């Protein structure tokens, strides 16, 4: 590839990235909204600090393995439910779940 072609391809890549951001598809989850969703729907079981209110619950300050999965994987678990956790599909919007998951990631490494 000569310089001109490389320059043109870079331009197209930047343009594409700009369109993706402007379309809303690439907007980051909102941690502040996520806190509200979490406090209303999740804290009753997971605790205000993510340590878990009942024995046998995951402690998200220690076990990061689950929350470090890609958004889509954690989203699916919360949508479908798991073990003692109810399915949130239909109860919460997709965006609300993703925001709550982003907030839960702030538990990682807390003492
Ligand atoms: C009724 C109690 C309850 C509520 C409410 C609840 N959870 Fe859970 N959650 C659990 C339990 C119990 C587990 C452990 C499930 C297991 O490993 O079998 C769990 C596990 C998880 C996990 C880890 C899943 C995995 O892959 O191991 C995530 C993430 C999670 N919950 C997120 C949420 C979010 C987000 C909300 C609120 C929208 C929420 N939970 C509300 C009880 C609850």
Percent of residues, the chain, with pLDDT higher than 70? 76
Among residues 60, 61, 71, the alpha carbon closest in space to that of 29 is found at: 71
Please give all residues whose beta carbon lies within 6 A of any atom in ligand 1, as ranges: 41-42, 44-46, 57-58, 66, 74, 77-78, 82-86, 88, 92, 100-101
Atom of ligand 1 nearest to the CA of 86: 1
pLDDT at position 20 is 43
What are the tens digits of pLDDT across the range 56-84? 889 999 877 899 999 999 999 999 999 99
> 11 C-alpha to center of ligand 1: Å?
44
Residue of higher predicted confidence among 94 and 12: 94
pLDDT at position 16 is 47
Rounded Cα gap, residues 104 and 85, in angstroms:
16
> 83 C-alpha to center of ligand 1: Å?
8
Confidence check: pLDDT of 11 > 80: no
Model pTM score: 0.82
Domains contained in the chain, CATH given: 29-107 (1.10.760.10)
Over residues 23-28, mean pLDDT: 61
């Amino acid at each position: 590839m000569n310089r001109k072609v490389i320059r043109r391809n870079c331009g197209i890549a930047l343009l594409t990235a700009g369109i993706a951001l402007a379309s809303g598809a690439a907007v980051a989850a909102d941690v502040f909204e996520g806190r509200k969703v979490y406090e209303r729907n999740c804290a009753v079981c997971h605790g205000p600090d993510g340590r878990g209110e009942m024995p046998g619950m995951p402690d998200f300050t220690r076990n990061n393995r689950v929350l470090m999965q890609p958004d889509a994987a954690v989203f699916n678990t919360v949508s479908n439910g798991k073990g003692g956790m109810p399915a949130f599909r239909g109860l919460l919007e997709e965006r609300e779940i993703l925001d709550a998951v982003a907030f839960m990631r702030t538990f990682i490494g807390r003492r």
